[in-house]
């Protein structure tokens, strides 16, 4: 986490606003009592968003997102048959994520862990890492 006392006033205010937005989003999701499957489907829908800049295969990403949405809809219909608006309530929370700055989120959660490196530059490395490699990295850093 960053030290707010060391930041310029405007920057500190921006970070505090971001933290409040993030906290509000998390609280709204907690109130909806998501189960593990719903959480996974929402992550997939956000991850497979064709709106991310620089995507090369937008059509394929759209297909992944549509598939995740259709499976999510089926799951919610079967798991919560009496709650006809549950899917809508869950999906309507996602636009709040767009109000949050990726750069500030990165700074808040990852700056102390990875230094001055953008998280998106190391994600491909993390995804290719085998479990054994990951465990050895943790052990090496703990020693």
Residue 97 lies in a domain: yes
**pLDDT at site 131:** 52
**d(Cα 39, Cα 115) in Å, to the nearest integer?**
29
**pLDDT at site 125:** 59
Give, rounded to a whole angstrom, the gap between the first and last alpha carbons of the chain.
Answer: 22
pTM: 0.65
Which structural domain, as residue segments, surrounds residue 108?
4-112
Give start and end residues of each alpha helix (H) in the chain: 9-31, 36-47, 58-79, 86-91, 102-114, 119-128, 131-142
**pLDDT at site 97:** 85
Residue 135 lies in a domain: no
Residue 130 lies in a domain: no
**pLDDT at site 123:** 58
Residue 19 lies in a domain: yes
- The total domain count for the chain is 1
From the list 126, 101, 132, the residue with the least C-alpha distance to 113 is: 126
* Contact call for residues 35 and 79 (beta carbons, < 8 A): yes
**d(Cα 31, Cα 86) in Å, to the nearest integer?**
12
* Contact call for residues 38 and 90 (beta carbons, < 8 A): yes
CATH of the domain at 32: 1.10.565.10
Residue 125 lies in a domain: no
| CA distances (Å), origin 119, targets 31, 55, 126, 141 | 29, 17, 10, 19
Q: Which two tokens stand for residue 84?
A: 């006809």
**pLDDT at site 134:** 45
**pLDDT at site 6:** 58
Average pLDDT of adjacent 10-residue blocks, the chain of 143 residues? 60 85 89 93 88 81 92 97 96 88 76 60 59 51 48
Burial of 103 (0-12, 13-18, 19+ CB in 10 A): exposed
């Amino acid at each position: 986490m960053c030290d707010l006392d060391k930041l310029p006033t405007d920057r500190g205010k921006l970070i505090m606003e971001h933290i409040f937005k993030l906290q509000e989003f998390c609280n709204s999701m907690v109130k909806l009592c998501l189960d593990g499957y719903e959480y996974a489907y929402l992550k997939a829908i956000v991850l497979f968003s064709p709106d991310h800049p620089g995507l090369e295969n937008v059509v394929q990403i759209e297909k992944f997102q549509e598939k995740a949405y259709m499976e999510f809809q089926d799951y919610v219909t079967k798991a919560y048959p009496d709650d006809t608006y549950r899917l809508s309530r869950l999906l309507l929370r996602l636009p709040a994520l767009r109000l949050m700055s990726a750069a500030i989120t990165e700074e808040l959660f990852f700056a102390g862990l990875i230094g001055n490196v953008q998280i998106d530059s190391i994600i491909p490395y993390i995804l290719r890492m085998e479990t054994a490699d990951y465990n050895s990295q943790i052990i090496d850093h703990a020693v």
